[in-house]
Chain A
Amino acid sequence: DSGVTQTPKHLITATGQRVTLRCSPRSGDLSVYWYQQSLDQGLQFLIQYYNGEERAKGNILERFSAQQFPDLHSELNLSSLELGDSALYFCASSVEAADTGELFFGEGSRLTVL
């Protein structure tokens, strides 16, 4: 158990819909990262937040957005969903914005878009 909690574990929805994925980082961790893993793309970095502020951005689509709240939990919002958005979405956390590089990953949220 990494200490990172993601909800929901599974989500099935239709094209065009919007969903929100939630992540609670390990206690004390200020940095949250979001990754997408689809069958043909591997693990892709989406975005990082540190203490409520966006820190780094990766291959995140404009239809996707994220935020980190004062209590440090984070949400990833996916809108106008397409079939290709079906993937595992992982959240990870670390103590600092740039530290030893040890990220603690949650068990992921599996999104299926039909």
Chain B
Amino acid sequence: DAKTTQPTSMDCAEGRAANLPCNHSTISGNEYVYWYRQIHSQGPQYIIHGLKNNETNEMASLIITEDRKSSTLILPHATLRDTAVYYCIADNYGQNFVFGPGTRLSVLP
């Protein structure tokens, strides 16, 4: 599995877009980029995933660079309930995800 690196923590003002970066410079061609989040001690929640095209769903957008070495998760209008630890994972078909320390996002009022 490709290793990912993320900032330890980030702050975002409520109502503004939260842009969470992820570096996965050693990602291989068949590995997807997945994003999960964990609110407090709840079970992780799937957000979005992509291979090389940008993706959007009701929760977020995923922007993957053309060389696939990095990506950005965008929460377009962050709310207080988006405060969580966000995990970026590079994996092929999700057989046994390796969760790193993630980014602790704090949405501030």
Interface on A for B, CB 8 Å cutoff? Answer: 2, 4, 33, 35, 42-45, 48, 55-56, 58, 88, 90, 92, 94, 97-108, 110
Given contacts A101-B32, A101-B91, contact A107 B100 (CB under 8 A): no
A45 and B41 contact, CB distance less than 8 A: no
CB proximity of B51 to chain A, nearest CB, Å: 11
Among A44, A48, A56, A102, the residue within 8 A (CB) of B46 is A102
For chain B, the count of residues having a C-beta within 8 Å of the partner chain is: 24
**Other CB < 8 Å A-B pairs besides A92-B43, A110-B41, 13 of them?**
A33-B96, A42-B99, A42-B101, A43-B38, A44-B99, A56-B95, A100-B94, A101-B97, A102-B49, A103-B36, A103-B46, A104-B46, A106-B43
Interface on B for A, CB 8 Å cutoff? Answer: 32, 34, 36, 38, 41-46, 49, 87, 91-102
**Which chain B residue has the least Cβ–Cβ distance from A50?**
B95
Count of A-B contacts judged by CB separation below 8 Å: 66
The interface residues of chain A lying within 8 Å CB-to-CB of B100 are: 42
Among A42, A56, A98, A108, the residue within 8 A (CB) of B43 is A108
